[in-house]
């Protein structure tokens, strides 16, 4: 799996979540602009931020990283 595929999965999960980008940003400790960059640019969160995103969005990091299909 390439970085672009990982980013695509992360974008998909963020887009399909019930939370606004502002809420996600506040919950994981980044700016709303940073969450926007995760979705629109080739920017990937730091590992601690990824862990927080996965917990908030109720998704396994294995899925985001392409190690599982669910």
The CATH number that applies at residue 51 is 1.10.260.40
pLDDT tens, residue by residue, 3-56: 888 888 999 999 999 999 999 999 999 999 999 998 888 788 999 999 999 999
In the chain, the number of structural domains is 1
CA-based radius of gyration for the chain: 11
Residue 1 pLDDT > 90, yes or no? no
pLDDT at 30: 96
Name the pTM for this structure. Answer: 0.86
Structural domain boundaries, residue 58 = 3-64
Q: Determine whether 61 is exposed, middle or buried from the number of CB atoms within 10 Å of its CB (0-12, 13-18, 19+).
A: middle
């Amino acid at each position: 799996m390439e970085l672009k595929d990982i980013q695509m999965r992360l974008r998909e999960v963020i887009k399909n979540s019930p939370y606004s980008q502002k809420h996600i940003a506040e919950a994981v400790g980044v700016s709303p602009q940073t969450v926007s960059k995760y979705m629109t640019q080739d920017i990937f969160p730091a590992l601690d931020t990824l862990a927080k995103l996965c917990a908030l969005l109720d998704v396994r990091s294995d899925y985001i990283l392409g190690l599982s299909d669910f």
